[in-house]
């Protein structure tokens, strides 16, 4: 039988479910390796059984491109998670959610991320990690910014998309090529000074924001702050109802 090129085999295996991928690992070395590439490409935190495996096998861990860990973890599992993360040398997207997680589990990691999402609080460990990720373009932070330690203005030089609370956005947007912003808040904020948006090195083109952060600011102020905005998504909350309006904009003075 004529051998299937590896790139074609990987494309085919992308349509195979996990149970069958496990079975295909028994065919031969080439099919096994390709099946493992697909099987371990994306790991979601709902099934924590993968963490010990990735902690014990650098060969399998280096195949991971997207990893998500969430929920509660025992102390032993946290240690194994830290080891697994150090083994994921090819990781590109990382999501960490867990109130027992600490940024210290990222010590010694060699991967260079494109995307990072977390609810970790600001800390020296988190900032050291962010400083080690110059390739990061997409950042999501689900905590308020606490100024201790102060944020290093030199890190994240290639950040283009950010989802965060206003306290973080004030630190993240100035001096960086941010083009897309999702501003969120866990409580109502009646006044937001939008002047920091103008300090992005690239004009903001996409913005998602709660209506009360805009109202009653005059349209002329919005135009001056967002001269290149082409996509605006305004969220309005009435009790438990969320209404989302997408507006295509061509703004000019």
Pairing of strands 66-70, 42-43: parallel
- Average pLDDT of the chain? 84
Higher-pLDDT residue of 220 and 91 is 91
pLDDT band at 189 (very low <50, low <70, confident <90, very high): low
State the pTM of this model.
0.85
| Alpha-carbon span 56 to 122, nearest angstrom | 30
Q: Phi then psi for 81, rounded to 5 degrees?
A: -65, -45
Between 192 and 163, the more confident residue is 163
- The C-alpha angle 95, 157, 86, rounded to 5 degrees, equals 40
Only one residue has tokens 């085999």, namely 9
Domain boundaries, given as residue ranges, for the chain: 1-39
d(CA 42, CA 56): 18
* pLDDT of 70: 85
Least confident among 16-25, 166-175, 200-209: 16-25
For 6-15, what is the mean pLDDT? 76
* The 3-state secondary structure of 19-84, one letter per residue: HHHHHHCCCCHHHHHHHHHHHCCEECCCCCCHHHHHHHCHHHHCCCCEEEEECCCCHHHHHHHHHH
pLDDT in tens, 55-91: 999 999 999 999 999 877 788 889 999 999 999 999 9
Q: What is d(CA 105, CA 155) in angstroms, rounded to the nearest whole number?
A: 20
């Amino acid at each position: 039988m004529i051998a299937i090129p590896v790139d074609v085999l990987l494309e085919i295996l992308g349509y195979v479910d996990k149970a069958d991928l496990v079975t295909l690992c028994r065919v031969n070395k080439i099919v096994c390796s390709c099946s493992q590439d697909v099987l371990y490409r994306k790991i979601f935190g709902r099934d924590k059984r993968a963490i010990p495996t990735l902690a014990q096998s650098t060969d399998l861990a280096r195949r991971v491109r997207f990893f998500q860990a969430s929920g509660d973890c025992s102390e032993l599992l946290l240690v194994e998670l830290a080891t697994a993360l150090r083994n994921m040398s090819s990781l590109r997207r990382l999501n960490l959610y867990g109130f027992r997680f600490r940024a210290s589990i990222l010590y010694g990691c060699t991967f260079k991320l494109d995307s990072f999402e977390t609810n970790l609080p600001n800390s020296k460990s988190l900032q050291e990690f962010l400083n080690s990720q110059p390739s990061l373009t997409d950042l999501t932070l689900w905590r308020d910014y606490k100024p201790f330690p102060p944020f290093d203005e030199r890190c994240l030089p290639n950040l283009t998309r950010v989802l965060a609370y206003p306290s973080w956005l004030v630190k993240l947007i100035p001096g960086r090529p941010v083009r897309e912003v999702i501003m969120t808040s866990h409580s109502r904020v009646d006044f937001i000074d939008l002047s920091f948006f103008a300090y992005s090195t690239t004009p903001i083109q996409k913005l998602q924001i709660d209506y009360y952060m805009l109202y009653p600011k005059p349209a002329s102020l919005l135009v001056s702050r967002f001269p290149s905005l082409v996509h605006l998504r305004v969220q309005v909350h009435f009790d438990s109802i969320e209404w989302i309006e997408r507006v295509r904009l061509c703004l000019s003075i």
